[in-house]
Amino acid sequence: MFHWLEKNPFFFAVAVFVVIAFAGLIEILPNFAQASQPVVGTKPYSTLELAGRHVYIKNSCNACHSQLIRPFKSETDRYGHYSLSGEYAYDRPFLWGSKRTGPDLMRVGNYRTTDWHENHMKDPVAVVPGSIMPAYGWMFKNTADIDTAYAEQLTVMNVFAVPYNAEIPMADGSKATVALADTVEGARASALEEAKVIAADMKDQDVKDKIAAGEIPEIVAIIAYLNSLK
């Protein structure tokens, strides 16, 4: 059979394809529907948080920070409850990372504040002596891309039925709603409102001036995102 295949490239290629595609069919497909169900308390990202998530991706924060807490005592002691599949239901893409040069950030919103992040992003060593994380000064200057975040929200709501403007069950039995504006202007306005709350806890005068002028610096967006990680 093998000799025959080696003289018939078409059937050889078909045979190779069948053999390599087999594992994917068995391993990956069956899990799909099940794994995409959110757990109680998991909300989709607001416009500002999603814009911050884009800043996180733009700077490949995931190259050094994981967002996956494994079910070991040493990890739950350090980072909080281990990760559940449904908590990632609105994460497109997933940001688990593959290397912990810095600590895990899955629940960083539980134990770090806006003020801490502001100081740390400006000068990591001043906050954590011995840190090898570079400073991210340009995040204070660059403007966050709110429009693209809004476009992504519209896309996932329309295509994947992500529940914006819908009631979401919370762990304490209450209901929460993540509002999504009808227009891009509305999205910009609501992101700015959210940004003002964050900026009120910050010290950087340039950031405050920018917010007053209606612009949202990247640092405000990424802090909104980091604060949402709980």
Partner 1 sequence: MENRPLEYDYTVAKMFMLTTVVLGIVGMLVGVILAWEMAFPAVNTIAGEGLAEYTNFSRLRPLHTDAVIFGFTVSGIFATWYYVGQRVLKVSMAESKFLMFLGKLHFALYLLVVVAVVGSLLLGITTSKEYAEFEWPIDIAIVVVWVIWGLQIFGLIGIRREKSLYISIWYYIATFLGIAMLYLFNNMEIPTYFASGGIGAWYHSVSMYAGTNDALVEWWYGHNAVAFGFTVPIVAMIYYFLPKESGQAVYSYKLSLLAFWGLMFVYLWAGGHHLLFSTVPDWMQTMGSVFSIVLILPSWGSAINMLLTMKGEWQQVASSPLIKFMILASTFYMFSTLEGPIQAIKSVNALAHFTDWIVGHVHDGTLGWVAFMIMASLFHMAPRVFKREIYSKSLMNTQFWIQTLGVVLYFTSMWIAGITQGMMWRAHDEFGNLAYSFIDTVTVLHPYYTIRAVGGTLYLVGMFLFAYNMYKTMTSGRRVEESELQNASPMGA
Which alpha helices (H) appear in 143-183, and where do they start and end?
Answer: 146-160
Instruction: Tell me: does residue 89 bind partner 1 (CB under 8 A).
Output: yes
- Does the footprint of partner 1 cover residue 76 (CB under 8 A)? no
161 binds partner 1 (CB under 8 A): no
Our finding on whether 179 is near partner 1 (CB under 8 A) is no
Candidate list 11, 40, 94, 176; residue touching partner 1; CB under 8 A: 94
Q: Does 58 bind partner 1 (CB under 8 A)?
A: yes
Among 90, 140, 164, 225, binds partner 1 (CB under 8 A): 90
Closest Cα to residue 162, out of 58, 29, 55, 42? 42
The Cα-based distances of 189 to 82, 125, 178 in angstroms read 36, 35, 15
Among 44, 229, 37, residue whose Cα is nearest residue 150: 44
16-35 residues near partner 1, rule: CB under 8 A = 16-17, 19-24, 27-28, 31-32, 35
User: Given candidates 71, 172, 182, 205, which one binds partner 1 under the rule CB under 8 A?
Assistant: 71
Span of 51-59, 109-117, 197-205, 221-229 interacting with partner 1 by CB under 8 A? 51-59
Instruction: List the one residue from 46, 47, 62, 227 that touches partner 1 (CB under 8 A).
Output: 62
Residue 109: C-alpha distances to residues 106, 132, 169, 174, 225 (Å): 8, 22, 20, 21, 9
